[in-house]
Amino acid sequence: MNILFNNPQLYVIEYPGLDALEILDKRNGRVGLLRGATADRMRGEFHHFLTHEHDQEEFEDFIDSYEGVLDQPVSRH
């Protein structure tokens, strides 16, 4: 498990052995797991996004673009 990104709004974890990414949108308590080609695409888009400067609204728009895969509520055990 590798933590790729963590800030007050977003948490992105990579699971290299599973070729998967877990994305946690802290703003609304939703999480999603991406695997295979979808995870690869997100890695590329996320890397590109982070290497360029963006304002808060652009950052939130980027997170919102993955809303469709953030299909599970976060639960605590």
Task: Give the pLDDT of the chain (77 residues) as one tens digit per residue.
Answer: 999 999 999 999 999 889 999 999 999 999 999 999 989 988 898 888 888 888 889 888 988 888 888 888 887 64
Residue 56 structural domain: 2-73
For the entire predicted model, the pTM comes to 0.81
Residues in contact with 43: Cβ distance below 8 Å, sequence separation at least 6, in sequence order:
14, 21
Instruction: State the total domains in the chain.
Output: 1
Query: Which pair of structure tokens corresponds to residue 57?
Result: 């609204």
Position 6, amino acid: N
Q: Is 70 exposed, middle or buried (0-12, 13-18, 19+ CB in 10 A)?
A: buried
CA–CA distance, 76 with 66 (Å, rounded to integer): 22
CA–CA distance, 71 with 25 (Å, rounded to integer): 11
